[in-house]
Amino acid sequence: MPLLAELLAACLAAGAAPGAAAGAVGGSLSGPLAAGLRRAATELRLGGEPAAVWKRFGQLPGASGLARRLELADVSGAPAVATVAAEAAECRARRGRAAQTTARRAAVLVTGPLGLCFLPAFLLIGVAPVVIGLAKELM
């Protein structure tokens, strides 16, 4: 999604209309979002209502924000470069936060097995000699 949004922003910055940019980006990538962009570009080229076309594209998982921004640009004629680039940045930030959360969760989940591996060794090497030594002195 971030790459798709950045490519869309680059096409829009070059002066392409949202429908033409969607067709170019959809044709250069693969996956469900790219297929949705290709479909949206085809519908727009055939005279589809921009609001309805982008709403259908927004029903794809992860595409709602980008669809809203493209719909606004297509309907109002306002430049969409900054908003689409902002959507790409937000998407990258969400992915970064999700990756950090996953890494932190993995670090927490790893402590259990590591504790089970190192606890017997700690008891045998660190605690047992002290207890044996104290027991010998007391007897």
CB-based contact 89:82 (threshold 8 Å): no
Name 45's Cβ contacts closer than 8 Å, sequence gap at least 6. Answer: 19, 23
- Record the tokens describing residue 31, joined without a space: 């996956």
The DSSP output letter for 30 is -
Q: Which of 60, 69, 22, 66 lies closest to 41, judged by CA?
A: 22
Residues of the chain with pLDDT > 70, as a percent, come to 100
- pTM of the complete model: 0.65
Confidence check: pLDDT of 84 > 80:
yes
Confidence of residue 93 (pLDDT cuts 50, 70, 90): very high
Half-sphere exposure at residue 31, Cβ-oriented, CA atoms within 13 angstroms: 12
Confidence check: pLDDT of 74 > 80:
no
Mean pLDDT of 26-51: 88
Mean pLDDT of 79-96: 86
Q: Kindly write down the DSSP assignment for every residue of 60-116, as one continuous string.
A: STT-HHHHHHHHHHHHH----HHHHHHHHHHHHHHHHHHHHHHHHHHHHHHHHHHHH
pLDDT of residue 101: 94
Confidence check: pLDDT of 63 > 80:
yes
Confidence of residue 97 (pLDDT cuts 50, 70, 90): very high
Name 4's Cβ contacts closer than 8 Å, sequence gap at least 6. Answer: 25, 29, 33, 34, 37, 66
What is the C-alpha separation between 67 and 84, in angstroms, rounded? 10
Confidence of residue 105 (pLDDT cuts 50, 70, 90): very high
Mean pLDDT of 36-49: 89
